[in-house]
Structure 1
Amino acid sequence: MHPTHFTFAAACATIAAVLMLSVTPAKAQADACAPQPHRIVSGQVENDMFGNGADRNYTHGTQLTYMTGGRVPQIVQDLAQGTPGFRKGDRMQFSVSLGQSIFTPDDITIPTLQRNDRPYAGWTHVGFGAVSFHRDCNQRVDEHVTRIDAVELAIGVIGPLSQADDTQILWHDWIGADEPRGWSNQLRNEVGIVLTYERRLPRDIDFEWFEALLPFNLEAHATPHFGFSLGNVFTHAAAGGTVQIGTGLNTTDGVPRIRPSLPGSGYFEPSDGLDWQLFAGAEVRAVARNIFLDGNTFRKSHRVEKEPVVVDFQAGLAVTVGPARVSFTNIWRSREFVKQKAWDEFGSISAAFHF
């Protein structure tokens, strides 16, 4: 591994570790009309091996996230409360994440530039997020959250410094898969910044009539959402919704995903026994910029003509046992660029733990 590659990875890890330790004092944020926050560690692995089995387009993603259980740093509170939707007194939690995403053309065995297919690209980043859970204090304390607002700032690097080439080549060597031979054509080094805002409205659609039809006292929720991302990596507006059926729906904020994706902060409360949720959702994105299709921002690079509208569909299962939760999500993504041969399909595996 090149020394500069190691230096960047070490810097990201160090920043994340320092922030995790610095924002977790024992004193919890007071909120009379919401349960106490919890410290949660979660990990996601997304790969097309779990979907259509092909190595193409968005081929792999990994992300580790730490959600704090203590008081949110004052600077984060001040910034969040200046964002529409965040209100003083709402329960807020802060998260730090470290992730990597890998993108490749359809045939990774070709060493030369494939002008009609998407560029090779990697994106390694640190994310700093805040999630606000609003609950109407005029309702009973055990009533559900009525609005969730989330904001995240992701900072990282695209290009050889992302180490995506090393990751894919090493992984394929371990599992005996085709050797990726075209990484010399990847996007050039560029610092990437993305600001993402999301609003979710849990149970905003009345599903009581549907719940009455379900056996075994099962619950059903429908949650519309909307939001946007702004930056040199992604710029888009999004809207969609998710339907859940199962038990303990008021104790979870959906499974986490690697952006761009349907939202879900990954927050959940421990279960006294076993809780489970089946879920399905869709999101439409109006895309103004995607660096992994448009190419580098400040220098000439390989690019393809992107589709202005992209649709995601997903379905999956989450199971919570005591302080642990595991989930699997299957995702179908429409064509992202004009000459893309087919829709994408990939899977996401997530595991999370309270402590």
Structure 2
Amino acid sequence: PSPGERPYAGWLYGGVGFVSDTGRQQDYLELQLGIVGPSAGGKFVQNEWHGLIGADEANGWDHQLKDELGILLAYERKIHAWQSVNIAGFSADLTPHYGVTLGNVMTAAAVGGTFRIGLDLPEDYGPPRIRPGLTGSTYFAPEGPRGWYLFAGVEGRAVARNIFLDGNTFRDSMSVSKLPFVGDIQAGVAVTVGDVRVAYTQVIRSREYREQPDPDTFGSVSVSVRF
């Protein structure tokens, strides 16, 4: 990568998660095990994709992070703090959340919340958020055969370690000067049809390291199937 850019890195992992849901509160615990570095296959995946879409090959992979086994234990709690009355099928709710992530890949604490408003609002905790952390917490419970909602949320994180910025734990590698606090603003729309939910999320993320010139802005499409 060019001077001032974050190190190139791939992260190949598997995870197992456990959910406890009381209807008003959801607790989620996940353990991820994997590998960072050339064995994760990030160079192959990116350059093969670039070849498919006719883009230039990425040149920074020769200086990517070295192989390192990774472990990550994450916990998150979401709370249904407020829900409006249902008027002609329309309602709104507010769901704060907080959590902690521990491991050599990421060590951080987070707090935030999500506001939703829509038609036949499902009894769940909103669409998957884009952030470091939990990958399996996408459970949803449809309220009717179809519905939709708009959502907006914020999250702040105190970051003690991020291997993708700090570099390898026990070996010399490229790194940047990580900032200790990171914030996200997210907004989007989710549509539920039967047991399928499709959501689009747009994110503005504050600078994550000192050399980063501007905040990041990016989007994501997620598809969840309930069975």
Tell me, yes or no, whether TM beats 0.5. yes
C-alpha deviation, 1:270, in angstroms: 4.1
For the structure 1 residues 264 and 276, does the alpha-carbon distance in structure 2 shift closer, same or farther, using more than 3 Å as the test?
farther
Partner-residue secondary structure (3-state), 1:335: coil
Using the alignment, how far apart are the partners of 1:258 and 1:231 within structure 2?
Answer: 19
User: Partner of 1:184 in structure 2?
Assistant: 62
Q: Is the 8 A contact 1:287 1:310 kept in 2?
A: yes
Q: Is the 8 A contact 1:120 1:186 kept in 2?
A: yes
Using the alignment, how far apart are the partners of 1:176 and 1:198 within structure 2?
Answer: 40
Using the alignment, how far apart are the partners of 2:123 and 2:38 within structure 1?
Answer: 41
Instruction: Give the greater-gyration-radius structure (CA).
Output: 1
Using the alignment, how far apart are the partners of 2:54 and 2:83 within structure 1?
Answer: 48
Using the alignment, how far apart are the partners of 2:165 and 2:151 within structure 1?
Answer: 30
The range that moved more, 288-297 or 242-251, is 242-251
User: Partner of 2:169 in structure 1?
Assistant: 297
Using the alignment, how far apart are the partners of 1:307 and 1:350 within structure 2?
Answer: 28
Q: How do residues 11-50 of structure 1 correspond to structure 2 at under 5 angstroms?
A: none
C-alpha deviation, 1:246, in angstroms: 1.1
Using the alignment, how far apart are the partners of 2:5 and 2:19 within structure 1?
Answer: 37
Using the alignment, how far apart are the partners of 1:312 and 1:201 within structure 2?
Answer: 19
Letter in 2 for 1:126: G
- Bigger fraction of residues in strand: 2
Using the alignment, how far apart are the partners of 1:261 and 1:331 within structure 2?
Answer: 16
For the structure 1 residues 238 and 263, does the alpha-carbon distance in structure 2 shift closer, same or farther, using more than 3 Å as the test?
farther
Using the alignment, how far apart are the partners of 2:91 and 2:150 within structure 1?
Answer: 11
- Bigger fraction of residues in helix: 1
User: Partner of 1:160 in structure 2?
Assistant: 38
User: Partner of 2:17 in structure 1?
Assistant: 129
Letter in 1 for 2:99: G
C-alpha deviation, 1:242, in angstroms: 0.4
Partner-residue secondary structure (3-state), 1:304: coil
Letter in 1 for 2:17: G
| 1:90-130 deviation line (CA, Å, top 9, x unaligned) | xxxxxxxxxxxxxxxxxxxxxxx534221111111111111
Letter in 1 for 2:214: A
Q: How do residues 6-155 of structure 1 correspond to structure 2 at under 5 angstroms?
A: 114-134=2-22, 145-155=23-33
Partner-residue secondary structure (3-state), 2:173: coil
Q: Of the candidates 105, 124, 128, which is equivalent to residue 233 of structure 1?
A: 105
Matched, 1:333 2:205: yes
C-alpha deviation, 1:259, in angstroms: 4.2
C-alpha deviation, 1:263, in angstroms: 8.8
| 1:216-247 deviation line (CA, Å, top 9, x unaligned) | 44111001111110000000110000001113
Using the alignment, how far apart are the partners of 1:194 and 1:224 within structure 2?
Answer: 23
Partner-residue secondary structure (3-state), 1:168: helix
Q: So what's the TM-score if we normalise by structure 2?
A: 0.93
Partner-residue secondary structure (3-state), 2:204: strand
Structure 1 unaligned residues grouped into runs of 5+: 1-112, 135-144
User: Partner of 2:138 in structure 1?
Assistant: 266
Q: Is the 8 A contact 1:257 1:348 kept in 2?
A: no
Letter in 1 for 2:53: I
User: Partner of 1:315 in structure 2?
Assistant: 187
Partner-residue secondary structure (3-state), 2:10: strand
| 1:178-231 deviation line (CA, Å, top 9, x unaligned) | 2201100000000111111011111x1x453xx58xx64411100111111000
Which ranges of 4 or more aligned residues in structure 1 deviate by more than 3 Å?
Answer: 261-264
Count of paired positions: 227
Matched, 1:287 2:159: yes
The range that moved more, 235-244 or 341-350, is 341-350
| 1:126-183 deviation line (CA, Å, top 9, x unaligned) | 111111102xxxxxxxxxx111111111111100011011000000111011220110
